Amino acid sequence: MASIRTARVLAAVAALPLTAALCGGVALADNGSFANDGSNAAVATVGGSGVGGANSGNSSTTQQQAVGPGATNQNTSAQVSGSALTAIDQSDHSVAVNFTPFFW
């Protein structure tokens, strides 16, 4: 009887690595795009920024993203604190930034 119990204990101990492998999980993050080789894909989010509704103090958030050849983005933002009436000039001024490879 003791040998049967010993065999059962050894079998249970031997099964522990298999149990850990089957019950263990792997986390994988994906951006949800269907980009192939040579393609670009990106995701940008703003979570928990605190901007929304009525803001009586300082509050500001910005999000920009441009991915891939020919991609552009443009942003105008303004922030005012403690002023009743304020004129803000958000006229459209663009700046071009060209990236070139270091090695051809």
This prediction has a pTM of 0.26
Asked if the model's pLDDT at residue 11 lies above 80, the reply is yes
Classify residue 13: in a domain, yes or no: yes
Contact in structure between 37 and 24 (CB atoms under 8 Å): no
In which domain, by residue range, is 15 found?
1-25
Whether 20 is covered by a domain: the verdict is yes
Whether residue 21 is contained in a domain is answered as yes
Query: What is the C-alpha separation between 51 and 66, in angstroms, rounded?
Result: 23
| Dihedral (Cα; 45, 67, 92, 84), 10-degree rounding | 10
| CA 16, chain centre distance (Å) | 36
User: Per the structure, how many domains does the chain have?
Assistant: 1
Give domain status of residue 45, yes or no.
no
Q: Are 83 and 71 in contact (CB under 8 A)?
A: no
Model confidence at 25: pLDDT above 70? no
Structure confidence at residue 26 as a pLDDT band (50, 70, 90) = low
Q: For residue 64, give the DSSP letter.
A: -
Note whether residue 11 is domain-resident: yes
Q: What is the pLDDT of residues 33-90, one digit of tens each?
A: 565 555 666 666 666 555 555 656 666 666 677 777 777 776 666 666 666 666 666 6
